[in-house]
Chains A and B, each alone.
Chain A
């Protein structure tokens, strides 16, 4: 149960979807405008961090379980590396994704692949930032218990 007032809790509940939406926008537009996977991932992660601050660590842990975060942390870099390897498999060199045979112009294919890579980075960075915050917060909670 949160120690913070009902105003903060309600405002947070309203804010979080918009923060996540903005984060997704920054990720999706990464290839064409300022932003990208890293920045967007951090923005999405801040929404979970806000949730943890307002509703407490144990509630936040249930929302983003360790297993889910572990899968996301690994999936991000894996997708990136596999798209790189895909370039080799279709006869080009590593990360040469513009020659991947999709029914589009090369520059559109390139755009799609960069978007996928940005999304992968976003997934990885988001999970990692949340994990880092949880780890530090757990340490803080432990220290607080020791003081009591």
Chain B
């Protein structure tokens, strides 16, 4: 028995088994739920690192479920992009679970604790499943599983509007799922296969057929809803701002990125880059939509006064950055887009966890009431500032590297549209600066309403450590960008075939 050949399935199965053991253990003792989840996701994180090492040294891993060779059986296919996503997902969700321990005890009702961890583990299982699967229909099923867990987690919040937000998310999410199913069905009708690698070969004689055009359009709209790409983003601000903060961090940091992953997979693995760039110019359409998303998302974020709403709208803008990178379809651009998935999940995860810590300690959500928090919660606010700088893209934070790559990619296109996109990236970063610097300014230099002595009062250590690690990550991966680029760069080149 050699476990190293089973890594792609073990990364999914370990948290899956933990998710279903959770109710049994939580029924005896609620306090064991958190350690169980931490152990399971730590194991997944270690496996993700092993997968990354294996992929870098030996290339794509293919795993045949049940011993049935593809295209008959279900294949798990892990390439550079999948490995990159695995590491990102397990890293940020592990920190979110560690953070949950103190946060959930205070912010959620006691009987919600066991379902919280079960659903969170299922959410992580689903995200990992999406990135390792090599089968189109399997992908649809797991996307649905992801969404169902996410709806329930949003509804779990103690806020009054939680049910409304979850219901809105559910309605739009199901619409998206129907689009994805229909698109997959069209592909299956003409090719008779669902395996992605097989599909990409068999679909080539059909390039130019209306069925393929419709299928691709349906898939893009479906995944667009799951990703919250600009005109389809309306569910995101409600869901992400109302969910418990640890969940917001996972939803905003990771769940919408898996939608972006699905878009990348569909465009460049199922379809050929040649088709989506030249025959049916989906990539340039996506770039323009993403450019609008960057500007509109940032403008919406500027008009918010609630901290979590602002962060949620900022996610709309930053999904724009990621999709723009994908849509540019140049070596640098796509590398930047993929890298931004990692950098944004760290920074946005950190910001939402900081927002959670602020709410945990003070209950403040309005950004104009944050004045004086720089003295009250110095570590949290320092982490918030670093993450905010990373969102803006100020060197030496990680956000700078991915935005630099995006800008290079836009100029690499060499057309007038490329210059427009470069301008949008600059303008978008400037607008991002407007609303993040406003918060940082308020925190440190804002005028205090009450002239009282402010005592240092930090969140508990269990919440502080994940925040500090994420903020540290924003700095470290900004100074040593070679580490994530070791996976992101070959991923982009393999996808584009250059």
Contact = CB atoms under 8 A, between A and B. Distances in A.
Given A74-B23, A74-B24, A93 B63 contact: yes
18 contacts: A67-B27, A70-B27, A74-B22, A74-B23, A77-B16, A78-B17, A78-B21, A88-B9, A89-B1, A93-B9, A93-B64, A93-B67, A94-B6, A94-B63, A95-B65, A95-B66, A98-B67, A99-B67
Interface in B1-29: 1, 3, 6, 9-10, 13, 16-17, 20-24, 27
7 tightest Cβ-Cβ pairs between the two chains A and B: A96-B67, A95-B66, A94-B9, A74-B20, A78-B20, A77-B20, A74-B23
A93 B13 CA distance: 13
A73 interface: yes
B32 to A, nearest CB: 14
Contact of A88 (B6, B16, B27): B6
A81 interface: yes
A26 B88 CA distance: 43
Contacts of B21: 74, 78
Most B C-beta atoms less than 10 A away, residue of A74, A91, A98, A99: A74
Most A C-beta atoms less than 10 A away, residue of B3, B9, B20, B64: B20
Given A67-B27, A94-B9, A94-B13, A87 B20 contact: no
Contact of B13 (A70, A81, A92, A99): A81
A67 B27 CA distance: 8
A70 B17 CA distance: 15
Q: Is the interface of B mostly helix, strand, loop or mixed?
A: helix
A94 B65 contact: yes
Given A77-B20, A84-B9, 17 more contacts: A67-B27, A70-B27, A74-B20, A74-B21, A77-B16, A78-B20, A81-B16, A81-B17, A85-B17, A88-B6, A89-B1, A92-B67, A93-B9, A93-B66, A95-B65, A96-B67, A97-B66
A116 to B, nearest CB: 15
Nearest to A88: B6
A25 B434 CA distance: 66
Given A78-B17, A88-B6, A94-B6, A73 B23 contact: yes
Contacts of B24: 70-71, 74
Interface of B: 1, 3, 6, 9-10, 13, 16-17, 20-24, 27, 63-67
Contacts of B3: 88
Contact of A81 (B20, B23, B67): B20
A87 B65 CA distance: 10
A96 B67 CA distance: 6
Nearest to A110: B66
Contacts of A8: none
A108 interface: no
A94 B66 contact: yes
Nearest to B2: A91
A74 B23 CA distance: 7
A82 interface: yes
B288 to A, nearest CB: 43
Nearest to B17: A81
Contacts of A73: 23
A88 B27 CA distance: 30
Contact of B1 (A67, A78, A88, A97): A88
Contacts of A95: 65-66
Contacts of A82: 17
Contacts of A71: 24
Interface string A77-121: 110011011011111111111110000000000000000000000
A138 to B, nearest CB: 14
Nearest to B3: A88
